[in-house]
Structure formats: C-alpha cells, structure tokens
Amino acid sequence: MRYAETGYSLEVDLSRGSIERLETDPSLTGLHLGGQGIAAKILWDRVPPEVEPFSPDNLLIFSTGLLHGTLVPGATRTVVNTFSPQTNLLAHSLMGGFFGPELKHAGYDTIVIRGKAPDLVYLWINNDKVEIRDASHLRGKGALETAELIKEELGEPRAQVAAIGLAGENRVYMASIEHGNSSASRGPGPVMGDKRLKAIAVRGTGDVYVARPVELYELCFRLRKEIIENPRCGDVMAHEDDDSFHHDNFAWGNARVRTKGYWNKEIEKKWKEIGDSIRIRFNGCYNCPKDCHQVISYPGRPPYFLKCFGKDTYHMAAFKEVDFSYHMLSYTQEYGLDSYSTPQVMAFAVELYEAGILTERELPGFPSDQGERFFYLLEKIVHREGIGDILADGVYWAARRIGKGAEKYDHNTIKKFEQVPIKLGKLNPPYFLMLATGEKMTITQIEGSFPQDPLPTREEREAFVREWVALPNDKIKQIFLEWEKRHELSIEASCLICDWNEIMHYIDDSLGLCAFLSSFNGQYGGKPPYHIHNLPQIISLAAGIDLDKDGLWEIAVRNRNLVRALNVRRGLRRKDERPPEDHWAVRDHEFEQKLLDAYYEFKGWTTDGIPTRQTLDRLGLDYVSEDFLRRGILTGNESFPSEESKMLAAKAAPHTSNGK
C-alpha cells in the first residue's frame, strides 16, 4: 500500500478528448516527494525545450503535495506548473484553499493536461468518474461566477472548482486561475486559456491512507495547538491594520515618486474602518486553524475573496485612496488577473502616456482621473483591444513592441517577469542572490527563513536565537548573532542564507505546505510549526518514508537543480540574472558579480549558472547531464566546484547542528 499519496495520475488529452488513470512510479516519491518536484520531473521527461508554451504539446500540471489530504494541518498548497508564454521558462504557481486535498480524496496525485480542446470545455472529476464537458455557455463568465454556475449545473455544492475568467480565455499573460479564496497566478492562466479549459471541478470522497495514523494524530494535535497560539502563523497581513512598511518602501507606480510618508495614523484609522465595514468574515483553507483570507462585499459588487497583498496593489499603483484596491479587485478577480503584475502593467501604461510615448491615438478618450484610467486600461487589457493587446503581454514585451524609448520604463522585470516593486537604499547581498538566481516567479516564494533586518543589540540577538528552532546549523546561528547592519553580510553568509531560504520553499512545495506555517515563518524566529528538524518525522508518520534532515535536504537540492535544468535547457544563463537597476539606490556591479560567482560555485554550477555534470550525477540526475552533454550545454570539461565551495555547501547542510 502507498501511504499519503494515491499512486495515480489523471492524464487528460484535450485534443483527442481522452482521459486515462495511470499508476505512477513509486520510486519517484522517494526522489522528489510530490508537488513541484514530481511536476518538474514530468515536464523534463515530456516537454522538450523546442515546445512553445502555446503548443498543444506543452503540459499544464496540477500537483498535490505529499501531505495533502492527511491529518497534517496547513497542507493546502496545490502546485500548478507549465511553461510560461511570457518568459518561455517554468511557470511555478501555488494556490491554497481546498483543491489539492479534494483531488487527493478523489484518488489522484496529479492532473496532467495536454492538447487543446476544439471549443471551451471544463473537466469534471467525481472520484473515479471523469468527464470533459462543454463549457461554451460559460464563455466570458467571471472566474468565481463560473465556479458557482458549475456547482449548480452539477448539483454538487461541495465540488472544488479552479476556473479562469475572461483574461485567461484571451490568453492575457497576467491571467490567474481562481479557486475560492486562493488563486494560481503568475504564469499558468494563459496556458489554461490556450487549451480552452475554462475550469476543473473536483469532488472526492475517498480515503487517504497514512503509515502510522495514531502517532500522526497525536503529533498533528500538538501542531494544531501551536499554530493557533502562534500569532505569526498565517498571513498576518490579513489581520494587521498598520501597513506602513509596504507604503513606505514599495512603489507600485514603478519609477514615479514612491509613497514614502503617505502612511500615517489617520490613514491607518481609515484603512481599518473601510476593512471592517466591507468585510463579511475571515475564512481559511483545508484543515488549517488560521483564518487568513477575507470575504469582502464592496458596495454595488458581488462578494469576493481578498488574498494577501492584493489589498494594497491597485491603490498604490494608481496613487488613489485606500479603498480603490477593494473596488478594483472586485472586477479583476472575476476577470482572473494577478494582482501583482496587472497594476504594474497599468502604471507602466500611465507613465508612457504622461511621457508622450503613448498618445490619444493609442488611448482614445483616456480619462484624466487616475482611477478611471485604471478601469479604462482594465477593459482594454482583458479584451486585448487596441493597445490592450500589447499591454496584455506584460511590461517587458509591451515596452519592446511599443518602442520609442518605452524600454527605459521597464523598471521592475527580472527574466521578463514583473517582480514585487520594492525600492530600497543599499544593496542587500542575500536578497540580491534570491532575486537574481531565484526561479519561483517572485521573491515571496524564496524568502522567509532568515530575518530581513538585524536586531540592534547582541543581547536581543542571543535571546532571539534561543527560541529559533528552525535554525539549520550553528553557522547560520553565528551569522545572525554577529549581524549588525542590514546590507552588510559577507559573501559566504549571503550564499548560506539564500540557499537555506530556497531549500525550505522547495521542501514546502513538494509537501504542499503553506509557507506561512513554514518557510516564510522562520524569519520571525520562535517556533514555526514546520522546519527542517521536525518535517522528516512528519513525512515518516504520514508517508512511511524514513528520512533524516540530511536526506530531506538532499531531496530539496535535487528538486531545485531539476528546476534549474529545465530553465537552462530553455536558454536561461547568467546574463538573465540581474535585478532591476533601481531596485536598490546604491549598486556595486563588481560586488554583485562576485556574489554570483560565489553562489554558482557554492551550488555546484558553472560560471554561467549551469549545474555541472558532477553535481547532477551526485543527485541522481544523470539523465539531465547526459541530455546537456548531447545538446552541447555542457562539454564535460567544466571546472568542478572547488574544495572551498564544497566546504561551504557542507556548512549549509542541517546535520552540523540540532538547531536548538
């Protein structure tokens, strides 16, 4: 018997209209666990780099985490992977809610979708009965509206639905896949639209078996209590009224004057009053005691779900009052649009208009009010009408298609993708590495294990680390104890910190854990529910896989290198790994290149950022190194990591300390 996983994948070919239930290879679980790790392996095996993102041969994969559907609280994050039309690289997206666990209860670990339907369809998974159904009557419907209409049509109010809106149907690059209180954004939405798949509805009533249920229950009961009592577990932004950090340091209006000084007690009071007046309730995800999401009822609009930072993005981009985001989100969520990229694209268009690069010719009747401008642009983009057809491809591609100097207004893309637009002073070395080398589409899927700022005194730092159970080793503990200034960390320390941040996210994404209970929670110190020291035991009790800390770390390293290999095979190189010029006010090119040199060597990659044959073979990825040699990506003569870098990598591994 296979524990925690079902052992089956649902294979759907929309071109042929075929559906297959296939047993999966159990050895892959030991190598990759689940979630993103398994999806990366499928994409490596079945989507060669010659396949274009909008090709029928590109795959769209919904993957459950290994711990989905078990007793483990907060195992809610479904991974959605494909190759992005915006970047031609791996699109990695996560959504919480109930979809992944429901899919596991229906009897599947993954849904693998290829091909293109002749017309709009949706997929209905009801345990072992699976159908491709006509969705032509849902054309143009909102994402949340679609979910309700499908549940009504099926007579199944408890079905879990992931759907696209009009943005996805029209292959807008910022399109999201909406699922109740969560969404899979930043990549997979336009591919789902290209495949003419309007939605996936799932209902599962089967059991998920675990290896040692009594012991797992006892452990999870304690974990649940810890989560409830820990104020830092869950999305704290959903509950906090003081949002000064984001308004003082972020600039959603791209290069325009950032909003520093905007936030004050009067704004904070107004923010709270607005939030309290339009909030219906807080709600949460499957088997999680934290209510991190809000159900919002904005006047004159249907109720919708508020997620994380979306409450800030539109009003900061448009320089409008704080309620503007609430108003805008009531439309954009139904259209199915990412609330990180979309406001930046709109702000970019406004900048070009103010600079005279876009005129009345491209924007006829463009309003004078900033808020009205954003609604004007919203309709153009979603319908791909006029200039909206260009803007719908994101800032990077729009700037180059528009020309006339528009490229210099591309302030905030990395690898052709919009990033969280923070504007700070002096370069922060580990964050430079996370932004430059990360392949998770956004810094929030990479950071979180190490604090963003040092504590002012040695005594405070010592008190902090005494309760910091997530620490992987004594080396990182010592780095924190000696850290005095935010931007002053050694190259060695920066490599270790970046690596730890990445590894924890890769672990979470294979298990399906919410990062707010694990990898994103470590920066607050104390006792995050999940960390490198207790996850091996949880995996053992749930899945029957016996791992120690080193073994779990190695799986994450394997998954990370496989993701790197997928992108290298599609052309990713060192030249692509540079944060935007104005991300920090003070830059040091020579130091940045030294950071990259050191990190590549630390990871066992070449000076161009390609995993070496030695690294790949050591991780059991010899099929990758053979492919690289065959394609000429590696020659076999690359310099292997130095003894110094091997020692540095050894220091990063968790076995050097018990972390307590």
Rounded to the nearest integer, the mean pLDDT of the chain is 90
User: Length of the chain, please?
Assistant: 660
Q: Which two tokens stand for residue 279?
A: 């909030």
Are 615 and 583 a contacting pair, CB within 8 Å? no
Tally Cβ neighbours within 10 Å of residue 522: 27
pLDDT at 260: 56
300 or 512: which carries more pLDDT confidence? 512
Predicted confidence band at 238 (pLDDT cuts at 50, 70, 90)?
low
Residue type present at position 94: L
Amino acid at 438: G
What tens digit of pLDDT does each residue of 184-208 get? Answer: 998 899 999 999 999 999 999 999 9
SS3 269: helix
Find, among 547, 551, 536, 554, the residue nearest to 499 by Cα: 554
Residue 384, both tokens: 């791909």
Quick one: how far is CA 299 from the chain centroid? Answer: 31
Is pLDDT at 650 greater than 60 in this prediction?
Answer: no
- Rounded mean pLDDT, 292-318: 81
Dihedral sign, CA of 580, 582, 585, 588? positive
User: What is the predicted pLDDT for the residue at 660?
Assistant: 33
The SS3 assignment for 422 reads strand
Residue 336 has pLDDT above 80, yes or no: yes
Q: Quote the pLDDT of residue 472.
A: 92
pLDDT at 239: 55
pLDDT at 655 over 60: no
> Lowest mean pLDDT: which of 115-129, 477-491, 578-592?
578-592
DSSP count for the chain of H helices, then E strands? 25, 19
Cβ partners under 8 Å of residue 139, min gap 6: 120, 169, 198
pLDDT bracket for residue 510 (50, 70, 90): very high
Range(s) of the chain covered by CATH 3.60.9.10: 8-203
Say which residues have a Cβ less than 8 Å from residue 450's Cβ, sequence separation at least 6.
Answer: 430, 476, 480, 497, 500, 501, 522, 523
> Cα(291)–Cα(322) distance, rounded to whole angstroms?
23
What average pLDDT does this structure show over 263-288? 84
Query: Is 529 within 8 Å of 227 (Cβ atoms)?
Result: yes
Among 12-26, 288-302, 311-325, top mean pLDDT goes to: 12-26
Q: Report which of residues 283 and 345 the model is more confident about.
A: 345
Looking at residue 568, what is its pLDDT? Answer: 98
Which of the four pLDDT bands, split at 50, 70 and 90, describes residue 61? Answer: very high
Q: Tell me what pLDDT residue 654 has.
A: 66
DSSP string, 432-455: HHHHHH--SSSGGGT--SS-SS--
Residue 235: the pLDDT is: 59
Output the six-digit token pair for 325: 């985001």
Topology of domain 424-656, per CATH?
1.10.599
Q: Where are the beta strands (DSSP E) in 345-419?
A: 413-414, 417-418
3-state secondary structure 523-537: HHCCCCCCCCCCHHH
Tell me the C-alpha to C-alpha distance, in Å, between residue 477 and each of 44, 141, 465, 648, 654.
Answer: 37, 52, 7, 15, 12
User: What span, in angstroms and rounded, lies between the C-alpha atoms of 556 and 558?
Assistant: 5
* pLDDT over 50 (residue 256): no
Q: Which of 301-315, 383-397, 553-567 has the lowest mean pLDDT?
A: 301-315
Band the pLDDT of 108: cuts 50, 70, 90: very high
Residue 49 has pLDDT above 70, yes or no: yes
Q: How far is CA 474 from CA 186, 221, 381, 477, in A?
A: 36, 30, 51, 5
Q: What is the mean pLDDT of residues 43-56?
A: 98
* Residue 241 pLDDT: 64
> Rounded mean pLDDT of 173-183?
94
Lowest mean pLDDT among 168-172, 391-395, 412-416: 412-416
The tokens describing 652, both together, are 């990063």
Q: For domain 8-203, is the CATH number 3.60.9.10? A: yes
Binned at pLDDT 50, 70 and 90, residue 170 comes out as: very high
Three-state DSSP state, 81:
strand
Tens of pLDDT, residues 426-475: 899 999 999 999 998 788 788 889 998 899 999 999 999 998 999 999 99
CA distance 173 to 137: 24
Residue 111 predicted with pLDDT over 60: yes
Residue 349: other Cβ atoms inside 10 A: 30
pTM of the model: 0.94
Inter-residue contact 409 to 352 (CB < 8 Å) = yes
As annotated, the residues of the chain forming the CATH 1.10.569.10 domain(s) are: 238-418
CB atoms within 10 A of CB 190: 28
Q: Is CATH 1.10.569.10 correct for 238-418?
A: yes
CB 280 within 8 A of CB 303: yes
- Dist CA 297 CA 318 (whole Å): 22
In order, the DSSP letters of 105-163 are: HHT-SEEEEES--SS-EEEEEETTEEEEEE-GGGTT--HHHHHHHHHHHHT-TT-EEEE
Q: CATH 1.10.599.10 residue ranges in the chain?
A: 424-656
Strands of 193-287 (E only): list them: 197-203, 279-283
pLDDT of residue 358: 98
Each residue's pLDDT tens digit, 583-607:
888 899 999 999 999 999 999 999 9
Q: Tens digit of pLDDT for each residue in 630-649? A: 999 999 877 655 555 555 55
> Quick one: angle between helices 310-318 and 341-354, nearest 10?
0
Q: For 537-554, how does the pLDDT look when each residue is reduced to its tens digit (9 = 90+)?
A: 999 999 999 999 999 999
pLDDT digits (tens, 9 = 90+) for 366-377: 999 989 999 999
User: What's the rounded Cα separation, in Å, for the pair 402 and 389?
Assistant: 11
Residue 230: per-residue pLDDT: 80
pLDDT band at 333 (very low <50, low <70, confident <90, very high): very high
Percentage of residues in the chain with pLDDT exceeding 70?
Answer: 92
Structure tokens at 276: 């309290």
Residue holding tokens 């999870």? 220
Q: Which two structure tokens, joined as six digits, stand for 24?
A: 């999966």
Residue 658 has pLDDT above 50, yes or no: no
